[in-house]
Amino acid sequence: MAVLISPAQVTALRASGDHPRLLDVRWRLDRPEGRPDYLEGHIPGAVYVDLDRELSRRGEPAEGRHPLPRRDDLEDAARRWGLREGDTVVVYDDVASVAAARAWWLLTRSGVADVRVLDGGWRAWVAGGGAVETGDVQPPRGDVVLAEITEGITIDQAERWSATGVLLDVRAPERYRGEVEPMDPVAGHIPGAVNLPTTTHLADGRLRPPAELRAAFASVGADGSIPVAAYCGSGVTAAHTVLAGELAGIEIALYAGSWSQWANTPGRFAAGGPSPDGPLSRV
């Protein structure tokens, strides 16, 4: 099943009468509320999806900043979006498909068979002259049934992962090295993790071709010959790396709790500096 879809392919689907369910997942760290931008303009028929409230839930600090939503809550939200059994779903955002990848991961791991990420997102749609509509879309309630998510790894598995596999820290290099930490109480990285920023996989807001993605993963030992897992600050950006891995043909497990969970769990260790096992400090 295809993972990415181009603006032209979305237009062709709509023209053929096979209307995909469009989900607008605009969100970013400095402006997490994307609804105002959505109301000002979105792909016709697209429903706004709230990443903070629908693609995650409120939890304790030790669960991280974006704990996965409960199955029942995600299913209720998906039905509000109008999702029905057998729908083709297209997700997009306006910042390099990072938030859209979170929706893609949650829905595919919940059993939705055909979920595609709009390559280049909202910006590519507008640049290509795609039609735009304003206001809110409230579709008829859907009937989709979601399964419990069983994929992903726990904090204890993340602690042991680098002993037999590759643990990717996909945050910016300065956060990995512990030089800055704008969001969480402790700086550094999980001991044994290697740094491969998810921005490595992008060119002009689009995902790079599969061969280039495979080369980037191989540069840090993540060639698929041993297990690969990924984390970020709160489990959102790492889903984008999982998406890149899917395109490259490399299976990547998501550590959804990510650094925000690790840094709020007493007794864990934080490594600093440019190496996987830099100077250690206890959280």
Catalytic residue numbers? 232
Spatial CA neighbour of 166 closest among 219, 220, 116, 127: 220
- Distance of alpha carbon 56 from alpha carbon 73, whole angstroms: 9
Which residues have CB under 8 Å from 155's CB, separation 6+?
A: 255, 257, 261, 262, 265, 268
Encode 57-94 in three state secondary structure.
CCCCHHHCCCCCCCHHHHHHHHHHCCCCCCCEEEEECC
Which DSSP category does 42 fall into?
Answer: B
Is-contact 192 277, C-beta < 8 A? yes
